């Protein structure tokens, strides 16, 4: 069998270098852009259930990118795609991404997030794909009350079917790496934000909701006192991390946090967005009762990612918020100068 390992510039002559599931999504579209920027050929797979073709507009007609519309749960089609492309690496991001939906419909969570991942994993194994990168989540930790989550030491007690499926797929990846000599990486994303994040659901990322409210002049709702903190990581840093992992040559399994190690409160976000906004608006802020079952503080330790891949987050929250406001066709949102 041909060696399908590649670094930037060494191409798999048969088809794509990297197959990205969830390519039309918020994070997936940035991943595709990053990979293409590195000179790699990318095929995206997406059923457009929550992703949008618009997200891939920067890659439209690019000779190194194509999108296949399809469902990761359609095993025959997924197998065929892997056989056609023989990708050297896969970045698996397609998922049912809503935690509340996974609680409302645990069967659908199982079907998409666990069984769907197994279908992609198995197709990759059969096609001889060397590297598998999986979009896991900080949700695997649950509410451990540890000040900082580290990959090994923190306990993993997921509080939702979504978190449980992410943890189960990590275990499947570990076994695949062991049994079949694959290189498998699970990246536990913390709170990702940036351009293209959909603000339309009440459970959308808080930054996308706040930015949208500011743009339309609507008031901002802060749940609780706003002193709760999260580790917000900028989407282009995340995309760089996924691409680094997709190009990582060593076999075996590894799991790393994809985060910044910096805690920001919800009130910090309100202030940061208001300061970057063109009119220096004083946003109208209403406080509501805290969300039921909400985690008070969530912070990751990014040193494992730095140690294994040399990855560090490059974008400060202030810069990321400015980039977010400057994007998305909402001209004039960003403060000038
Ligand atoms: P997203 O909804 O924008 O992207 C998911 C993509 O998967 C969408 O384009 C959707 O159309 C596609 N998809 C869903 N079901 C599919 C199926 N059956 N077949 C093919 N495609 C399908 O969400 P996102 O925020 O970009 O999330 C990407 C990944 O990162 C997910 O695995 C998610 O669980 C994980 N993650 C995201 C965050 C975050 O803060 N956004 C945090 C932790 C983990
Ligand atoms: C994240 C994930 C969620 C799940 C959870 C596991 C996102 C978008 N959500 O939830 O799917 O994995 O982690 O722990 O990644 N907030 C407001 N006002 C709003 C919206 C939110 O104050 O209008 C607050 C919210 O109460 C929370 C913080 O902002 O304290 C972040 O909320 P979020 O939904 O963006 O993310 P999180 O960490 O609660």
Domain assignment present for 86: yes
**Ligand 2 mean position, distance from CA 206 (Å):** 6
What range does the domain containing 213 cover? 206-229+262-299+315-333
Does 274 share its domain with 254?
Answer: no
**Of 144, 191, 234, best ligand 2 pocket probe by most atoms within 8 Å of the beta carbon:** 191
Does 244 share its domain with 319?
Answer: no
Closest CA to 317 of 259, 261, 240, 264: 264
Q: Which pLDDT belongs to residue 332?
A: 36
- pTM here is 0.94
Does 223 share its domain with 130?
Answer: no
Does 138 share its domain with 114?
Answer: yes
Does 221 share its domain with 171?
Answer: no
Percent of the chain as helix, strand, coil, to the nearest 5: 40, 20, 40
Q: Which pLDDT belongs to residue 216?
A: 87
The CATH code of the domain that includes 289 is: 3.90.25.10
CA dihedral (100, 140, 90, 32) positive or negative: positive
The CATH code of the domain that includes 86 is: 3.40.50.720
Asked if 173 and 121 touch (Cβ cutoff 8 Å), the reply is: yes
Asked if 28 and 52 touch (Cβ cutoff 8 Å), the reply is: no
Domain assignment present for 198: no
Distance CA 243, CA 268 (A): 30
Does 34 share its domain with 57?
Answer: yes
In the annotation, is 203 catalytic?
A: no
Write out the two tokens for 95.
């998922």
pLDDT < 70 regions, the chain: 1-14, 278-281, 328-337
Q: How many domains does the chain have?
A: 2
- Angle among Cα 205, 184, 124 to the nearest 5 degrees reads 95
Does 161 share its domain with 211?
Answer: no
Q: Which pLDDT belongs to residue 217?
A: 87
pLDDT, one tens digit per residue, over 179-238 is 999 999 999 999 999 999 999 887 899 999 999 998 888 999 999 999 999 999 999 999
**Ligand 1 mean position, distance from CA 93 (Å):** 5
Domain assignment present for 285: yes
Phi/psi for 111 (5° steps) reads -65, -50
């Amino acid at each position: 069998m041909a060696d399908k390992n590649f670094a930037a510039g060494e191409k798999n002559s048969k088809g794509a270098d990297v197959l990205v599931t969830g390519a039309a999504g918020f994070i997936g579209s940035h991943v595709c852009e990053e990979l293409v920027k590195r000179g790699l050929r990318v095929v995206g797979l997406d059923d457009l259930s929550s992703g949008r073709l618009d997200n891939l507009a920067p890659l439209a007609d690019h000779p190194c990118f194509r999108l296949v519309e399809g469902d990761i749960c359609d095993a025959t089609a997924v197998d065929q795609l892997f056989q056609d492309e023989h990708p050297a690496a896969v970045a698996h991001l397609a998922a049912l991404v809503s935690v509340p939906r996974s609680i409302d419909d645990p069967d659908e969570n199982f079907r998409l997030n666990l069984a769907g991942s197994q279908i992609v994993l198995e197709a990759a194994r059969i096609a001889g794909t060397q590297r598998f990168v999986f979009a896991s989540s900080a949700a695997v930790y649950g509410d451990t009350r540890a000040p900082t989550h580290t990959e090994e030491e923190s306990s993993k007690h997921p509080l939702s079917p979504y978190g449980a499926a992410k943890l189960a797929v990590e275990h499947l990846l570990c076994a695949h790496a062991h049994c079949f000599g694959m290189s498998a990486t699970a990246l536990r994303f913390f709170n990702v934000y940036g351009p293209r994040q959909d603000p339309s659901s009440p459970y959308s990322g808080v930054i996308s909701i706040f930015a949208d409210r500011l743009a339309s002049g609507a008031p901002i709702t802060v749940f609780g006192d706003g002193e709760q903190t999260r580790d917000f990581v900028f989407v282009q840093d995340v995309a760089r991390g996924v691409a680094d992992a997709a190009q990582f040559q060593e076999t075996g399994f590894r799991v790393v946090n994809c985060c910044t190690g910096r805690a920001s409160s919800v009130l910090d976000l309100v202030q940061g967005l208001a300061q970057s906004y063109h009119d220096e608006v004083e946003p109208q802020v209403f406080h509501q009762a805290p969300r039921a079952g909400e985690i008070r503080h969530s912070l990751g330790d990014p040193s494992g990612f730095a140690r294994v891949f040399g990855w560090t987050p490059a974008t400060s929250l202030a810069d990321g918020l400015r980039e977010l406001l400057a994007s998305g066709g909402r001209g004039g949102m960003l403060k000038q100068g």
